[in-house]
């Protein structure tokens, strides 16, 4: 049974940094991703933030986080990371990690294509 667990969320001020982690990844997960959803904004769907194809390390980012966020993996620790820098209040959300066996490149940031999800960790950025 796949159990993904996020950790490392918290509260920071604008311009600050946070790293969130996701334990429980498996070798069979060729696609790993970070997604976020702000429950305080009704109707806003869960959006893809960053993803990584584990076989070759190729990464994918949403335009809104390019140059600020970095996704990485530690296969020895079965852990996925998201380093977030230059945070703004618009980055405030619940952050989820997710895994999928195999995805085409154009689907790497599509939450509907992921099979396994963690419970999420809250990130709050104050102005």
The tens digit of pLDDT for each residue in 72-100 reads 999 999 999 999 999 999 999 999 999 99
Smallest CA-to-CA distance from 47 within 34, 59, 60, 58 is with: 34
- 18-29 pLDDT, tens digit per residue, is 999 999 999 888
pLDDT of residue 2: 77
The two most distant CA atoms of the chain are separated, in Å, by 40
Q: What integer best gives the mean pLDDT of the chain?
A: 95
Report the share of the chain in percent with pLDDT over 70.
100
Q: How far apart are CA 92 and CA 108, in angstroms?
A: 22
Q: Kindly report, residue by residue over 20-65, the tens digit of the pLDDT.
A: 999 999 988 899 999 999 988 888 899 999 999 999 999 999 999 9
Which pLDDT value is given to residue 99?
97
Tokens of 94: 């619940």
């Amino acid at each position: 049974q796949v159990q993904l667990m996020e950790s490392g969320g918290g509260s920071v001020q604008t311009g600050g940094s946070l790293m969130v982690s996701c334990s429980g990844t498996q070798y069979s997960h060729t696609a790993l991703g970070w997604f976020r959803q702000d429950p305080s904004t009704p109707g806003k769907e869960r959006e893809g933030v960053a993803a990584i194809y584990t076989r070759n390390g190729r990464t994918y980012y949403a335009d809104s986080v390019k140059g600020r966020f970095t996704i990485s993996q530690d296969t020895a620790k079965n852990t996925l990371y998201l380093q977030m820098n230059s945070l703004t209040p618009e980055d405030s959300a619940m952050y989820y990690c997710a895994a999928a066996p195999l995805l085409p490149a154009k689907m790497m940031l599509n939450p509907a294509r992921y099979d396994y999800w963690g419970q999420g960790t809250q990130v709050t950025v104050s102005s």
